[in-house]
Amino acid sequence: MVLVPRGYKVRPVKKMTHSPPRIVVLGSINLDLVIRCASIPRPGETLLAAAAAEVCGGKGANQAVAAARAGGSVTMIGRVGDDAFAGRLVANLERENIDCQWVRTTSQCASGLAIVSVAQTGENAITVVSGANARLSAADVAAAQDVIAAADVLLVQWEVPLDTVLAAMKIAHAAGVRIILDPAPTPKQRPAALFDAALFDVDLICPNESEAAALTGSAVETPEQIEAAAAALHHKGARQVAITVGRRGAMLWTGEKSAWVEPFSVTAVDTTAAGDAFAGALAVFWAEQDDLLEAVRFANAAGALAASRRGAQPSLGARGEIETLWKTKK
């Protein structure tokens, strides 16, 4: 049985009006300090690390790069601090041909920082300092209103203030712009029941299985549980749902039926940015082809490619690479 949310309406969205498609990404921009060590330090323990690297990251920036490499014309809306990392973070996006005119500088504030400890087993522990990301405001969104309204897709996550996300979604709704939500990170301290229902009023939500479990309060392990979680997220307001389940692929729920999208066979070495690769590639392909099922297949290929490489942004594939893998299942 299909659960239809109260007041649910099919929302008309405009067809793609630009080639390449215009993708606006609202989200976080971080500098990732990646530390490789034999094991994750326990409380009070000091370990010598094998190596360290500084890598540009943040879910918003990762997805912007993923969309640009997948063939989109991308604009980033975000904030950096006035520290030594800021110029590097913006320059990195600009090298990917991402429009950064709406990336603002926050005075007397550090840029977002993530400290990532990676063990030899692949296990990781991540500590994020939001920094300037927490200062991204509804006023910043209002300043970029025209670029959001002119987009084909607005891509958002939850690594910036939720009120800011809602402000951008409101503009997109009024302009008929398609909205894709990657609900990450899902705050553990804030039960799903307390989330503003408007946050789920999107054309597609694409959580992974752990995020879907947190948002629905139910186990998301078996195919039946995954389908039930997708139906529950649709009931919350999302018009369509794509739940990614790693090596098992993804479940797409359209509100009327579900479809299991098979994975691509790769040797996974680092899944850090696989979800970001999925979201960015999906936004571009869906805008181009208006075929959501095929867009999820294409996004699965992008996610698999990223998982087969080390690092976050360095692992994100170019359009030709994604197409080569995607066509193996055509």
Sign of CA dihedral 152, 158, 159, 162: positive
Distance CA 202, CA 186 (A): 16
Active site residue 276: yes
132, 161 Cβ separation under 8 angstroms = no
User: Which of 99, 140, 201, 276 is the catalytic position?
Assistant: 276
d(CA 267, CA 150): 39
208 DSSP 8-state letter: B
Report the run of H or E that residue 251 belongs to, with start and end: strand 250-253
3-state secondary structure 284-308: HHHHHHCCHHHHHHHHHHHHHHHHC
Cα 13 to chain centroid, rounded:
21
C-alpha to C-alpha distance for 276 and 207, rounded to whole angstroms? 11
Angle at 163 between CA 161 and CA 169, to 5 degrees: 110
Q: Tell me which residues are annotated as active site.
A: 276
